[in-house]
Amino acid sequence: MTLRDLVVIRLGVAVNLVIGQVAAALLLPVFLDTIGTVLVAALVGPRAAIVAGLTSQVLNAVLSGNFTWLPFGLVQIVIALYAALAARLGAFRRLSTAIPAGLLLGLVAASASAPISYFLFGGVTAGGVTAVTTVIRALGAPLPVAVAAASYSTDLLDKSLVFALVAVVLRSLPHQMAVRFPMLAR
């Protein structure tokens, strides 16, 4: 890994940690805490994206004090691998391909996070998702179904937005800057 890759990874981690602040300022019911991971996957590759995702998870726990988020590092690995594959297949070239690819990532990410949430924490994790879980459970759905439904509904929206935003960022990159990232040319 080159020094330049390291700096891009650090940027990805910082974006992951900070962009949630933008989502909160806009009162959006999404996390947007994987934009940096997806961006690094598209600019540098899967290995760097995995490092960015795991570092984000650790630093997020350190900065918030909420260390119960650590086991969700596995989801960051899944996202990094998927995003790198999507970038290689050209999913970020157009919004019309980025959004469906993001929706599919939502399904994949929820399939990874719902079992962690259910088996390790009894379905109680981040406030927004748990509120949805509680509503679905109160409507009479069994707990595993409520946890899965809440994860899928939030992840589908979150990841499609993440992919759309990364596609917009990559399309907005000036040519001189874009040519410095060989992954983008592939």
Partner 1 sequence: MIGYLPGRSSLHRAHPYTPLAVAAGLLFLAFAFRSPAAVWAVVVAAAAFAAAGGVLGAVLRPAAMLALPTWILLTVLHGLLGGPPHLALGPLALSAPGVERALVFGGRIAAILFAFLTALATVAPPRLVEAMTARGVPFGRIYLLVSTLTVVPRMRARVRQIIDAQQCRGLRIGGSPLARVRALGPLVVPLVLSALAEVDEQALALDVRGGSAAGRRTALAPPADHAGDRLVRWTVLVGVVAAYAWKFAGAGR
127: Cβ contacts below 8 Å, ≥ 6 apart: none
Q: In sequence order, what DSSP letters do the residues of 80-120 get, joined into one string?
A: HHHHHHHHHTTTTS-HHHHHHHHHHHHHHHHHHHHHHHHHH
**C-beta separation of 41 from 87 below 8 A:** yes
For residue 69, the tally of other CB atoms under 10 A from its CB is 16
7 vs 89 by CB, closer to partner 1: 7
Count residues near partner 1 (CB under 8 A): 60
Question: Which 120-159 positions form the footprint of partner 1 (CB under 8 A)?
Answer: 120-124, 127, 130, 133-134, 137-138, 143
- Phi and psi torsions of 162, nearest 5°: -60, -50
Q: Output 25 or 185, the one with its CB closest to partner 1.
A: 25
Shortest separation between residue 135's beta carbon and partner 1, angstroms: 11
Residues 15-74 that bind partner 1 (CB under 8 A): 15, 17-19, 21-23, 25-29, 32, 35, 39, 51, 55, 58-59, 61-68, 70
34 backbone φψ class: left, alpha, beta (φ>0; ψ -120 to 50):
alpha
Q: Which spans of this chain sit near partner 1 (rule: CB under 8 A)?
A: 1-4, 6-11, 13-15, 17-19, 21-23, 25-29, 32, 35, 39, 51, 55, 58-59, 61-68, 70, 120-124, 127, 130, 133-134, 137-138, 143, 161, 165, 168-169, 172-173, 177, 180
